[in-house]
Amino acid sequence: MDVIVLGGGLMGTASAYFLARRGARVTLIERNQVGTGATVASFGNIRRTGRHLTQLPLAHRSLSLWGEAEKMLGQDVEFRATGHIRLIFDEDGLADMRAYAEAARPWGLELEELGSREISARFPGLGPDAIAASFSPQDGSGNPRLIAPAFAEAARKLGAEIIEGALVEKLERTNSGFLVATSKGSFAAECLLNAAGAWGAGIAAQFGEEVPLDARGPQMGVTEPLPHRILPVVGIWTRDKEHGAYLRQVERGNIVFGGAAERVSVDLDPGHAIADPLRLPVQLRAVARLLPAIAEVAVIRTWSGCEGYMRDMLPVMGQSATTPGLFHAFGFSGHGFQLGPGVGDAMAELITTDRCETPLDDFSVDRFSHHSS
């Protein structure tokens, strides 16, 4: 089986790897460099807490692949299962956490509830005013700069062709499959996987599949390095967006943070998401509730990245509803980093076997047309 994968972010490279592992002949076409879209901009959170429940089977599948990543890919992509703590500062947050924990348990996610004394004993320096927290010990983080190039390299070793800097000039369905004419030559295959991230809706529209996707850039920042003390990824249960920050300390000591600020709107052409310095004070105030020591530290860089947000905040994954041989995996709505390896494995299973052990029905490309009719 021949497959063209369009887009070399985490979804495209992971799919290329798992497809090649299943014996498919893969050509991955990326117009820039592998991993330089939303993937490299990611905060790197490998979290299951708070996910839409029907996404948990895919998230579990992905987490176990993150655990095997170093062996599977032949390099350390800095996955560390340091745990994910979400602090709680009020009764609403506590009620939301308990309701989610109860609902998520039958879906295979067990959250520990910590009291304030346990938080300060186990995680000194975090949220002195927190009344409680949830803790998910198996979750953690990975390095967003390493993961897509690592998947691409591993796919290449299995025979996949990875073509970077290729501008797509024509994309069409033929009698035997698909033809993709690019600035680096023309490629044909019986299947096409649309893994074009925020640009995926434009590709789907070319095949008569309109979906509501909004291109936006969440804003991130990083501090100067400090002695390494904070192990878990830290977040919050809150109903107030202005408090919704998160942070983690990388092993080199810098504290990476995000959330709380509104996401900037991004023009898909050229797709450059630019962090807005005016949003930084709101963000830092929210981070300081989680980690007061941030007030003493210099922020050395801010950035953003162009991500596709679907109207219902769920990705588009699965078979095309209009075009045989076409598959989609895009629109990961700000939470695709954790899912990436699982998405690649699930899409490879679906494309090569016509079935997928992980339920993908909620992510179908035509769900928006069903709902409006």
Is residue 86 involved in binding ligand FAD (CB under 6 A)? no
Please select the residue that binds ligand FAD; options are 4, 20, 21, 42, rule is CB under 6 A: 42
CA nearest 359: which of 63, 139, 60? 60
| Cα 248 from chain centre | 16
Say how many Å lie between the first and final Cα of the chain, rounded: 36
Helix (H) or strand (E) holding 213: strand 213-217
Please select the residue that binds ligand FAD; options are 3, 27, 45, 160, rule is CB under 6 A: 45
Is residue 342 involved in binding ligand FAD (CB under 6 A)? no
Min separation Cβ 4 and ligand FAD, Å: 10
CA nearest 84: which of 54, 118, 55, 49? 49
β-partners of residue 247 are 234, 257
Return the number of the residue (132 or 207) whose C-beta is nearest ligand FAD: 207
Is residue 330 involved in binding ligand FAD (CB under 6 A)? yes
CB 136 within 8 A of CB 49: yes
Please select the residue that binds ligand FAD; options are 12, 140, 149, 232, rule is CB under 6 A: 12
Span interacting with ligand FAD, options 55-63, 83-91, 103-111, 335-343, rule CB under 6 A: 335-343
- Residues 303-322 touching ligand FAD, rule: CB under 6 A, are 304-305, 307
305 is written with which tokens? 């990245």
Please select the residue that binds ligand FAD; options are 16, 18, 24, 44, rule is CB under 6 A: 44
CB 307 within 8 A of CB 38: yes
Give CA–CA dist 61/66, Å, rounded. 9
Return the number of the residue (72 or 347) whose C-beta is nearest ligand FAD: 347
Give the binding-site size for ligand FAD (rule: CB under 6 A). Answer: 39
Min separation Cβ 118 and ligand FAD, Å: 25
352 is written with which tokens? 């090569």
CB 177 within 8 A of CB 270: no
Site track 196-215 with ligand FAD (rule: CB under 6 A), x = hit: xxxx----------------
- Reduce the DSSP state of residue 127 to 3 states and report it: coil
Is residue 332 involved in binding ligand FAD (CB under 6 A)? yes
Min separation Cβ 122 and ligand FAD, Å: 23
Site track 152-171 with ligand FAD (rule: CB under 6 A), x = hit: ----------------x---
CA angle 32, 349, 1 (to 5 degrees): 70
Is residue 10 involved in binding ligand FAD (CB under 6 A)? yes
